[in-house]
A and B are shown apart, each in its own frame.
Chain A
Amino acid sequence: MSQGTLYDKVWDAHTVDILPTGQTQLFIGLHLVHEVTSPQAFAMMREQGLTIAFPELTFATVDHIVPTDLRTRPFLDEQAEGMMQALEGASQDFGIEFYGLNSDRQGIVHIIGPQLGLTQPAMTLACGDSHTSTHGAFGTLAFGIGTTQIRDVLATQSLALDKLKVRRINVHGQLSEGVYAKDVILTIIQRLGVGGGKGYAYEYGGSAIDSMSMDERMSICNMTIEGGALVGYVNPDATTFDYLRGRPFVPEGPAFDRAVTYWRSVASDANASYDDIVELSTSEIEPTVTWGINPGQAVGVSARLPRPEEVADPAAARRAYAHMGFEAGTPVLTIPIDVAFIGSCTNSRLSDLRAAARIAQGRKVHPRVRAIVVPGSFEVKRQAEHEGLDRVFEEAGFQWRAAGCSMCLGMNPDKLRGREVCASSSNRNFIGRQGSPGGRTILMSPAMVAAAAVSGHIADVREFL
């Protein structure tokens, strides 16, 4: 059993009680809400006559269904308009702060929490979205939950949970040029498997993680759930505190200093004990892409597509090839693409857009490729435009859009068509994920997407730097 880890300390500080079932009742310090998984929870609240316990600890925004081009209301899609109205109505009825399309705080829920300083170390956080693990980058225990659990949080500001084991993942070394946080997490998932994290919280550490920016740590923690672990986190340090200082919801002056002292105190002890420890060296990591239908089916860009019998689950590999239409043994670098998508809660922050713009600068998107860039929030868009990144992308032939989940999932007008192959900076290559049942997704870093967009096929970003 783990001891002295951040997970143990934050868990203990938020334990309300042990329930008759043996589960822990855990207090939730921050609740984030979006339009897709919440309407049924608000409906249950109304039907059951429940009131919201701590309205000031819930914040809502819209991201999944919003169009990223034409955003005038009512939306052309009546169902999307209905979802929008449901959340607007619920926010008003339940007294919840809501950042809608007219707010300069709107954006993907996992982008705006950190950006506003709502997400802080030593907190517990819940959101009806599996990529809630993103917030763990701050040393936050962040839980992706379902709709009935959203009702639990609204009504009681707490959840009934089983304590997880803790696996420490050490990443040693420094990333070489062209290798990004996305490549690190894809490699981790490839090694440990998409179900390998079951029952665990992942604590990421080691010199490579220590020297990462908050944006990079968020990309890593974001995809924790793709490795089967519910929670992932990085211990808070000076990088964390520097990021938070001055953000709207972060305390100022002496209160900030007290906060830092407290935040430091929850970091895992030097002699903390873990249920498992995994070691990985950056020398083993090159730009990485997926070739199949789950994020663990990944390979280095200079390799050939593996034979089914070479991987952990040959049956899954055969199903993946049947969907993707790829042949084992094909060099990764020859795979053509039709669509390039830069965006999603994994990789739509300013640093992601800068890395992709560096590749796009002075180049042209391949004539066969449809390419879009979707900033993660209104604020990311504003900053990127201030730096002129929008012009770099548009001159290269990318479409520059407004903030939302966009083509990460088929819930808004941005979708794959037919059997299109998409080079995507998002997090899931599941069958049908990008809105077309026959669509095919290849996950990679934003810079790799830009390199593929200008090449018309998967390319090694290191040759563009």
Chain B
Amino acid sequence: MIPIRHISGTAVPVRGNDIDTDRIVPARFLKEVTFDRMGEYPFLDERFDAEGRPKSHPFNDRKYAGASILLVNANFGCGSSREHAPQALYRSGIRAIVGESFAAIFAGNSLAIGLPVVAIGPEDMERLMGMVEREPKIPLTLDIVEKRLGIQREVMQIDLPETARRALVDGHWDSTSLLAANMDKVRETASRLPYLSRFRTPATGS
């Protein structure tokens, strides 16, 4: 897999805590059996009213066109486990998400598709969003290796789990190949679990 070490581009801020995956991709779009069209759907019900007229939303705002870094507040991606949510953001051009915090399943799904989600503190985020809202075309540089976010002359420290940092930097974010390399050990583990033999032999305890 391809290592993901540096991402640069302009940013788009979507404000608010606890933005759930139903808001990122409404459930009715989950009836498609492929992810192919997900890039059309991010925040759809927040961007358009029932008649299809655009509402005020950063994803509709032309000043953020072409942005590849999404800025969010706390507990982003809470709710449903739908991978459609990070898929929709990725397929619409987002290559990294910087937020105050992320829901666990969303963070795992994002890592699994090579979409880094990294955290900065609330004060830094408020400042960062303000800078981007004032000057949408300023470029951001995200350094996953050194855990730094650069904007203009400023450098902010970012936070991400060390396991995620290594997975991205070493190109191991698509975990299937790593897991599959261990199939002998997987079978060995299975052979130790008494429930897999339906307790036909006396249990050894844990």
Residues of A near any B CB (own CB < 8 A): 9-10, 12-17, 19-23, 25, 27, 29, 36-37, 39-40, 43, 48, 50, 53-54, 57, 64-65, 77, 79-80, 82-83, 86, 120, 122-123, 128-130, 132, 144-149, 151-152, 155-160, 162, 194-195, 198-199, 225-226, 228-230, 251, 255-256, 258-259, 261-262, 265-266, 294, 313, 315-316, 319, 409-411, 428, 430-433, 435, 437-438
Contact = CB atoms under 8 A, between A and B. Distances in A.
A258 B206 contact: no
Contacts of B164: 21
Given A15-B189, A162-B163, A146 B203 contact: no
Contacts of A228: 75, 78, 103-104
Nearest to B180: A156
Contact of A262 (B82, B186, B199): B199
A36 B30 CA distance: 7
Nearest to A40: B35
Given A120-B195, A194-B78, A83 B33 contact: yes
Given A13-B193, A21-B164, A149-B108, 8 more contacts: A14-B193, A83-B31, A148-B109, A148-B174, A155-B179, A226-B79, A230-B104, A258-B202
B31 to A, nearest CB: 4
Interface stretch (B14-22, B63-71, B132-140, B141-149): B14-22
B75 A195 contact: yes
Contacts of A198: 75, 101, 103-104
7 contacts: A152-B175, A158-B182, A194-B75, A225-B105, A258-B194, A258-B199, A261-B205
A292 B113 CA distance: 32
Interface in B163-206: 163-164, 166-167, 170, 172, 174-176, 178-180, 182-183, 185-186, 189-190, 192-196, 198-200, 202-203, 205-206
Contact of B108 (A17, A27, A50, A145): A145
Given A21-B167, A40-B35, A86-B33, A194 B112 contact: no
Contacts of A226: 79
Contacts of B81: 37, 128-130, 132, 144-146
Contacts of A251: 198-200
B58 interface: no
A413 B19 CA distance: 26
Contact of B45 (A48, A82, A86, A432): A432
Chain A CB count within 10 A is highest, among B79, B174, B180, B192, for B79
A334 to B, nearest CB: 27
A437 B49 CA distance: 9
A163 B190 CA distance: 20
A234 B105 CA distance: 21
Top 8 A-B pairs, shortest CB-CB distance: A195-B75, A146-B109, A146-B83, A79-B31, A262-B203, A148-B112, A39-B33, A160-B175
Contacts of B105: 130, 144-146, 225, 230
Nearest to A312: B17
A50 B81 CA distance: 23
B193 A27 contact: yes
A195 B172 contact: no
B120 to A, nearest CB: 16
A272 to B, nearest CB: 13
B62 interface: no
Interface in B29-51: 30-35, 45, 50
Contacts of A152: 112, 175-176, 179
Nearest to A262: B203
Given A16-B189, A83-B31, A21 B103 contact: no
Nearest to A10: B206
Contacts of A122: 195, 206
Chain B CB count within 10 A is highest, among A195, A229, A230, for A195
B23 interface: yes
A162 B108 CA distance: 10
Given A43-B34, A162-B163, A258-B194, A9 B186 contact: no
Nearest to B49: A437
Contacts of A146: 81-83, 86, 105, 108-109, 112
A371 B183 CA distance: 51
A20 B172 contact: yes
B193 to A, nearest CB: 6
B79 A130 contact: yes
B26 interface: yes
B195 A123 contact: yes
A169 B198 CA distance: 32
B80 interface: yes
A435 B27 contact: yes
Contacts of B34: 39-40, 43
Chain B CB count within 10 A is highest, among A19, A80, A315, for A19
A149 B105 CA distance: 10
A431 B22 contact: yes
Nearest to B28: A410
A212 to B, nearest CB: 24
Contact of A16 (B20, B22, B182): B182
Contact of A435 (B16, B28, B161, B167): B28
A198 B50 CA distance: 35
Given A16-B189, A17-B185, A228-B103, A437 B80 contact: no
